[in-house]
Amino acid sequence: MMTSLKKRVQLFAFFALFIPLGLGAIFDVQAVFGSYRHSLSLRLQIHAESLRSDIEKVLNLGLPITDIAGLNARCQDIVQHDTDLAYCLVESLNGQILFAHDPSLVNTETLPELPSELLQLVSGFRDWDDFYDIGVPIYDSSRVLSGWVRVGFSVDVLRDLARATVVRNLVILVLMFLAIYALIVVYLQRYLLAPIDRLCDMARQMSDGDFYPEAPGLTTREFQVLSDHFVAMATSLAERDERIAAGIEELERSNYLLQDAYEAQENISAELKRNQLLYQSLVDQASEAILVCNANDEIQLFNCQAERFFEIAAQDALQCNLINFFEKLGVREIDRIYEMYQGVLDSGVGSEEFVFVASTGVQRTGLISAVSLRGASDEVLVQMIIHDITLDHQAKLNLEKSAAELTRLNRMKNSFLGMVSHELKTPLTIILGYADLLEVQKLAQIDPVLKDSLGHIIVAAERLERVIQDMVDASDLDGHRIELSRGMVDLNQLLRDCSEDMKRLTSDRQQSIKVDLDASLPPVNADSARLAQMFGHLLNNAIKFTPDQGHILVKTLFLSPDSEAAKNCSCNGDMTAGCVEIIVADNGIGIPDEEQDYVFDKFYGSGPIGEHTSSRVSFKGKGVGLGLTIVQGIVELHGGEVWIDKEHLSDISDYSGTAFHVRLPVNSLVVQG
């Protein structure tokens, strides 16, 4: 052991000295190498600057660079006086050598690297070795670049310096290494290895059973402390030997106590067995199918309800792999069940539906609710409760069929409305045509009693024509067949015209229409005819549901792009130009809160209109319930929104009935129906 430790100490001392000394020598060589290269670079810069200065003095006299005499001699002089330099030359802008220390280079050679004011490595020139090069630009009297002065030195200059430095440092390194290594080895032998050898002899005595060894006298304090601890440890071992004998006696007494504890454990195991039987009984009597799998995905528990649900005996399912069990049942959702099972192992819970056909031919649907558990031995278990949702699944399918049937009936209804509208419009056009013809051309020949009847026919036919047109528009909106004819529309003027058109209806009932228009309202990119149709429906509703001598308000607002209302607007358009808002309000009977969510539905009618109607026939009925549906459709085609509210009204008490708000973007996008 001592021989091995001695070798290791000597090797450690060797490398501990060699590595830092060697690295220091390497860094010293690199530092000398870099310093000398920098010194040469400065010398190159000085020579090149000096030659450049002389050349520019001549160029400032107006003489071309090619006509300057004596430059070859000047280059030779620079190279001869500085023996480290490899070359000195003057180069044209295209790289041609004009003057050089070696006249054979003039007009015959070009350096492979472009000139640079920084030190650069140049290779591959003639058969020369690699060299470092630096260039200085030459400017004429007009500060125009005329050429370059290039000076370089061979890489061998640096290599020779590095070689000499390495040899010198290597000699010093070897001498220092030998001296220090000898001192370290002698010191370690006296103050480390010899004391360790004495302590090893003392340890061998203790291993032979001598717990009272003689402590050697050691000069090193730490080893002396270790020797004292060896003596103390030997005394402790002797005392422990006596305690072991006493412990054996105590162990025999503990053995009797352990036997009593084992008998108590047997009683606990019997009680646990009874609890397991009770749990098994509860699981078997559960109303839901229950499966429990172990960490190997094998079914460990399969209760009675599971036997009835799957129509499989428990002995055929136990120890069966869970996925294989579902595959034998013909379950199509195997992949989803496997992903759910893996998710339960990761996250602790999961659920999945599956469908299978039982052996009796009955199709059943189950819902798995799975949770991971920890067994008595910390084994991971997965408990799955399977709910029989066959009836629920069937009810869901029936609801889906009913929804599909309702969708089909709705399409049939829309088709029927379109067909009826077309079939009614043709004979109605004929009726109106002949009635107008009789009224215009045969008025003098008609009996006065029949004149009144003819007027009623025309009024009723026109009303029916409007109803039919509403049905056609509603059908076109549903079928996305309406295309807008856009242009820049003056909404204020359009509202004035619509309000004037309604004067005939309001005058009969002594109603007033107040028009409050925002003068800053910009033109809107929209279909004027469709907007007029939309406002006509809103005004017609206001007139219809407002009592005689009632008040109606038509108001416009401009919402600038930076306003809070414009920022919160849900219009579909370029909101950088802002949007406009139109309010049509009245003091009529209003719309109950519970009905406001349905007023835009087709064929929905609201309000007890009979409470305030005049004697005109056109106001005695609620209509077919398509007006607001068409309003909403036209607004959405323009990228806008419509709703019911009483905000933005200056006098709520005067217009306490219904207030319809229409908001349109100034530059609306084309909305696909």
**Res 606: pLDDT:** 63
423 burial (CB, 10 Å; 0-12 / 13-18 / 19+) is exposed
**Res 311: pLDDT:** 85
> Is the pTM higher than 0.95?
no
> In terms of CATH, what superfamily is 2-162?
PAS domain (3.30.450.20)
Which CATH code for domain 483-668?
3.30.565.10
348: nearest Cα among 305, 301, 382:
382
Q: Which of 27-36, 288-297, 456-465 has the highest mean pLDDT?
A: 288-297
Place 612 in a pLDDT band, splitting at 50, 70 and 90.
very low
**Res 445: pLDDT:** 61
Quick check: 1 pLDDT over 50? no
Place 521 in a pLDDT band, splitting at 50, 70 and 90.
very high
| Separation between Cα atoms, residue 521 and residue 666, nearest integer Å | 9
**Res 451: pLDDT:** 65
Q: Which residues pair with 558 in a beta bridge?
A: 580
For residues 389-409, average pLDDT? 82
For residues 89-111, average pLDDT? 80
* Residues whose CB falls within 8 Å of the CB of residue 636, separated by 6 or more in sequence, listed in order: 671
620 phi, psi to nearest 5 deg: -90, -15
**Res 615: pLDDT:** 37
| Separation between Cα atoms, residue 441 and residue 437, nearest integer Å | 6
**Res 422: pLDDT:** 62
**Res 581: pLDDT:** 92
Q: Which residues pair with 285 in a beta bridge?
A: none
**Res 623: pLDDT:** 65
Report residue 8 as tokens. Answer: 């290791």
Query: Residues spanned by CATH 3.30.450.20 within the chain?
Result: 2-162, 286-388
Neighbours of 388 (CB within 10 A): 17
For residues 211-229, average pLDDT? 67
Instruction: Write out the H or E segment, with its range, that includes residue 643.
Output: strand 641-644
Residue with tokens 């856009």: 486
> Which comes out higher in pLDDT, residue 180 or 301?
301
**Res 583: pLDDT:** 92
* E strand spans, 438-591: 487-489, 512-516, 524-526, 551-559, 573-586
| Separation between Cα atoms, residue 207 and residue 72, nearest integer Å | 93
For residue 626, how far is the Cα from the chain centroid? 45
| Separation between Cα atoms, residue 254 and residue 463, nearest integer Å | 110
Residue with tokens 């352990």: 258
**Res 118: pLDDT:** 83
Quick check: 542 pLDDT over 80? yes
310 burial (CB, 10 Å; 0-12 / 13-18 / 19+) is buried
**Res 622: pLDDT:** 57
Edge-to-edge strand order for the sheet containing 551-559?
512-516, 551-559, 573-586, 659-668, 641-644
For residues 485-502, average pLDDT? 90
| Separation between Cα atoms, residue 650 and residue 553, nearest integer Å | 11
Place 98 in a pLDDT band, splitting at 50, 70 and 90.
confident
Q: Within 13 Å and on the Cβ side, how many CA atoms surround 627?
A: 19
> Which comes out higher in pLDDT, residue 170 or 388?
388
Torsion of CA 647, 650, 655, 660, to 10 degrees: -40
| Cβ pair 514, 552 in contact under 8 A | yes
Query: Residues spanned by CATH 3.30.565.10 within the chain?
Result: 483-668
Quick check: 223 pLDDT over 70? no
CATH of 286-388, one of 2.60.40.10, 3.30.450.20, 3.40.1500.10, 3.50.50.60: 3.30.450.20
For residues 95-109, average pLDDT? 79
Summarised one tens digit per residue, pLDDT across range 53-64 is 888 888 888 788
Return contacts of 71-76, CB within 8 angstroms, 24+ apart: 71/98, 71/99, 72/99, 72/100, 72/101, 72/103, 72/106, 74/99, 75/51, 75/99, 75/100, 75/101, 76/101
Place 572 in a pLDDT band, splitting at 50, 70 and 90.
confident
**Res 444: pLDDT:** 57
What is the chain's mean pLDDT, rounded? 78
Place 420 in a pLDDT band, splitting at 50, 70 and 90.
low
- Look at the alpha carbons of 560, 564, 568, 569 in this order and tell me if their dihedral is positive or negative: negative
Summarised one tens digit per residue, pLDDT across range 114-152 is 888 888 877 767 666 778 888 889 888 788 888 888 888
* Residues whose CB falls within 8 Å of the CB of residue 598, separated by 6 or more in sequence, listed in order: 604, 606
Q: Cα–Cα distances in Å, from 460 out to 178, 420, 454?
A: 129, 18, 10
| Cβ pair 467, 522 in contact under 8 A | no
| Cβ pair 44, 119 in contact under 8 A | yes
387 three-state secondary structure: strand
127 three-state secondary structure: coil
Q: Which of 3-17, 264-278, 306-320 has the lowest mean pLDDT?
A: 3-17
| Separation between Cα atoms, residue 479 and residue 89, nearest integer Å | 89
Place 569 in a pLDDT band, splitting at 50, 70 and 90.
confident
**Res 90: pLDDT:** 86
Q: Are strands 120-122 and 299-302 parallel, antiparallel or unpaired?
A: unpaired
Quick check: 357 pLDDT over 90? no
Quick check: 278 pLDDT over 80? no
CA angle 321, 327, 330 (to 5 degrees): 150
Summarised one tens digit per residue, pLDDT across range 627-645 is 888 888 888 888 899 998 8
Q: Which of 65-79, 401-415, 492-506 has the lowest mean pLDDT?
A: 401-415
Summarised one tens digit per residue, pLDDT across range 15-58 is 666 677 667 667 766 776 677 777 778 888 888 888 888 888 88
Q: What DSSP assignment string belongs to 105-162?
A: GTTT---SS---SS-EEE--STTPPPEEEEEEEEE-TTS-EEEEEEEEEEHHHHHHHH
SS3 helix, strand, coil % of the chain, rounded to 5?
Answer: 55, 20, 25
Neighbours of 204 (CB within 10 A): 11
For residues 172-186, average pLDDT? 75
Place 618 in a pLDDT band, splitting at 50, 70 and 90.
very low
